[in-house]
Amino acid sequence: MALDIDAVQAFVLVADLKSFTRAAEIIDTTQSAVSLKIKRLEDTLGRRLLERTPRKVRLSAEGSTFLAAARTLLAAHQGAIGSFEQPRQRLVVGISHHIVGAELPMLLKHLTCVQPNLQIEMHISTSREIRDAFDRGVLDGALVLSHDNRRQDGEVLFNEQFAWMAGDDFELYPGEPLRLATQPAPCSMRAMATSLLDEAGIAWTEVFVGGGMTTIGAAVSAGLAVAALSRRVAPAGLVDIGAKLGLPALPSREVILYSSASTPQVRSVLHTLASAIRATASAV
């Protein structure tokens, strides 16, 4: 029995991204072509790997069993190709720390799957700092939140939804100012959140200032504070506490990709990154 390596890759992408559409974007084909590849793989194996419904894709029991072997096969295939010396592509990309969360390992996995001989230099910072670095020519690509109309040449990937996130046991006592976990100024999200609280006449105090979403998420998960976080990247177990505390609604922000990549290989990797992040948004 011989397996089509492209079909195996399509299966792994659909399993990880839970979307035929996003998998098709990554390998630059159509949704129907991905579906056909996986159907032929299922026919070859004599097993149903995926359960398909109009709104959801999930692994079958046999698909779950096959997934680990499929990853091993892809790794071996990449290793065989990589046994011959090839020019290494370098990608310097910046991502706002409001955009990337626990899904980063999956994103990196798909980047190296598309381009095994890739050297990635990743900068995680505020949208403002990432965009400034891109404008200076330091970055091949930038993923940021929109906060103004300074640039008009980016690709809008999706709208990021924000909420006042806290642990489900968070308590705020009468007369107590809202305890916040924030990024240091001049973070645009911090400015937006505190301005909304001021406009609503809600007293607040910063009890934790972190250096990225990992530390902010940890402080909120520990019950220290509330934070304005993306629903998509908020740590598991946190809940939207805005309505319960009567807090003002947080607006959404566009996630925008800027690219100055000069080679087809690097453009392909940025395309993969954009598709993978889109998939995490559609899963929320």
- Taking only the tens place, the pLDDT of each residue in 207-236 is 999 877 788 989 999 999 999 998 888 888
For 4, the 3-state DSSP assignment is coil
For 154, the 3-state DSSP assignment is coil
**Are 171 and 212 within one domain?**
yes
Higher pLDDT, 284 or 157: 157
Q: What's the mean pLDDT when you consider all of the chain?
A: 84
**Are 14 and 125 within one domain?**
no
* 138 secondary structure, DSSP code: -
**Are 169 and 247 within one domain?**
yes
**Are 70 and 102 within one domain?**
no
**Are 42 and 166 within one domain?**
no
Is residue 99 scored above 80 in pLDDT? yes
Final residue before a domain boundary, out of 82, 105, 120: 82
**Are 27 and 151 within one domain?**
no
Q: What angle do CA 20, 24, 25 make, to 5 degrees?
A: 120
* 98 secondary structure, DSSP code: T
Domain count, the chain: 3
Are the beta carbons of 3 and 41 closer than 8 angstroms? yes
**Are 151 and 177 within one domain?**
no
**Are 15 and 59 within one domain?**
yes
**Which pLDDT does position 267 carry in this prediction?**
73
Q: What domain range is 40 assigned to?
A: 5-82
Type of residue numbered 268: S
**Are 42 and 174 within one domain?**
no
d(CA 252, CA 18) in angstroms, rounded, equals 24
**Are 76 and 97 within one domain?**
no
Q: What is the CATH number of the domain that holds 217?
A: 3.40.190.10
Q: What is the pTM of this model?
A: 0.71
Most confident segment among 23-27, 53-57, 91-95: 91-95
**Are 258 and 124 within one domain?**
yes
